[in-house]
Amino acid sequence: MADGATQTRVRTWEDRSWISRDGLDLHYRDYAGPVEKPPMLCLPGLTRNARDFANLAASLAGEWRVLCPDMRGRGDSDYARDAMTYTPAHYVEDVEALLAAEGIKRFVSIGTSLGGLMTMMLAMKDPSRIAAAVLNDVGPEIEPAGLARIREYVGQGRSYETWVHAARALQEANRDIYPAWQLPDWLRLAKRCMVIGSSGRIVFDYDMNIAEPFEAPEGPAPTADVMWALFDLLATRPLLVLRGAHSDILSAEVAARMAARSATTELVTVPGVGHAPTLDEPEAIAAIARLLARAA
């Protein structure tokens, strides 16, 4: 399902799929673009999907090829047979399978939250294949308060009678993240992260079992020391770090340290939002355009 902001537009992508190493049929949107430029790979957050990048991808389609995958357990991709494969390492393995299937040797990575962690992990194999990267409101260290907030909501199988009910519920839970938003904005968000379920009610568009790895004491992600080492690999490339001004995931101190470690890194704070910027904000759009100019 397209998000509310794109339902009236001419469709600009093809629905395609690839197979994971453990046999899952995984979906991605493929927005056509020139073969002489490295394609853009848009990696979503923990509970999100390819629709998060609909506006960004549509605005760049034709000028860039843009691939927007639904990670396992999200959107139109298969749910995992083993919930303990809902970890960053397995998601990166899935992305590597996509890159191999498409014969992609070099790419631009745009990662929001979990997608940003995946982007750093993709640098481990060979950072030179990453033409440029965006880390959207995430870094090598995650703030405990933000992680606790995520643990509270992920895997909660709530449902809603109508899209307005769903939008109001999102507003109630996230008003501090997007304080300036009005009902149309919340409706747009609802249609990005929810679908009409088999019961006819509005449900979140992900497998509730993605919460299971969070029950492990060490959590599903690598340690901060490992992530800083991976960030340093990634930061040899043209890099944009976006931070929501009120983020509870990426602190201002960690973001400043990220920017200070590399002359190729631009740090942009998106005003008036928390975790995470939608990439529809003017500040984010302008910063991504500057980054792509360095990657072309």
Q: What is the pLDDT of residues 20-71, one digit of tens each?
A: 999 999 999 999 999 999 999 999 999 999 999 999 999 999 999 999 999 9
State the chain's mean pLDDT as an integer.
94
pLDDT over 70 at 81, yes or no = yes
Tell me, what's the pLDDT at 4?
Answer: 40
pLDDT over 70 at 76, yes or no = yes
Helix, strand, coil percent content, the chain, rounded in steps of 5: 40, 20, 40
Token pair for 265: 């890194």
Give the span between the Cα atoms of 52 and 54, in whole angstroms.
6
Report if residue 184 sits inside a domain.
no
Q: What's the CATH code of the domain at 96? A: 3.40.50.1820
Half-sphere exposure of 25 (CA within 13 A, CB side): 4
Give the span between the Cα atoms of 67 and 88, in whole angstroms.
19
| pTM: predicted TM-score of the whole model, two decimal places | 0.94
Q: Is 13 helix (H, G, I), strand (E, B) or coil?
A: strand
pLDDT over 80 at 215, yes or no = no
Report if residue 93 sits inside a domain.
yes
Higher pLDDT, 280 or 2: 280
Count: domains in the chain: 1
Nearest residue to 248 (alpha-carbon basis) of 98, 141, 131, 102 = 141
Q: Is 238 helix (H, G, I), strand (E, B) or coil?
A: coil
Q: Tokens 């409101």 map to which residue?
A: 137
Using pLDDT thresholds of 50, 70 and 90, give the confidence band for residue 3.
Answer: very low
Q: What percentage of residues in the chain have a pLDDT greater than 90?
A: 90
Read off the pLDDT of residues 145-159 as tens digits, 9 standing for 90 and up: 999 999 899 999 899
Tell whether omega for the bond before 58 is within 30 degrees of 0, i.e. cis. Answer: no
Token pair for 18: 């690839």
Question: How large is the average pLDDT for residues 180-203?
Answer: 97
Q: What angle in degrees, to the nearest 10, is found between the helix axes of 88-102 and 114-122?
A: 60
Report if residue 120 sits inside a domain.
yes
Q: Nearest 5°: phi and psi at 16?
A: -135, 175
Report if residue 166 sits inside a domain.
no
Q: Is 274 helix (H, G, I), strand (E, B) or coil?
A: coil
Using pLDDT thresholds of 50, 70 and 90, give the confidence band for residue 2.
Answer: very low
Read off the pLDDT of residues 165-179 as tens digits, 9 standing for 90 and up: 999 999 999 999 999
Q: Nearest 5°: phi and psi at 30?
A: -120, 105
Report if residue 25 sits inside a domain.
yes
Tell me, what's the pLDDT at 1?
Answer: 35
Report if residue 271 sits inside a domain.
yes
**CA 55 vs CA 2, 45, 50, 58: distances in Å:** 10, 16, 11, 5
Question: How large is the average pLDDT for residues 292-296?
Answer: 88
Helical segments of the chain, H only: 54-60, 88-102, 114-122, 144-153, 163-174, 183-193, 224-234, 252-260, 282-295
Report if residue 201 sits inside a domain.
no
Token pair for 201: 């009610």
Domain limits at 135?
Answer: 13-145+217-295
3-state SS string for 129-196: HEEEEEEECCCCCCCHHHHHHHHHHCCCCCEECCHHHHHHHHHHHHCCCCCCCCHHHHHHHHHHHEEE
Find the helix or strand (DSSP H, E) in which 69 lies. Answer: strand 66-69
pLDDT over 60 at 6, yes or no = no
Report if residue 182 sits inside a domain.
no
In this structure, which amino acid lies at residue 285? Answer: I
Using pLDDT thresholds of 50, 70 and 90, give the confidence band for residue 73.
Answer: very high
Read off the pLDDT of residues 218-252 as tens digits, 9 standing for 90 and up: 566 678 999 999 999 999 999 999 999 999 999 99
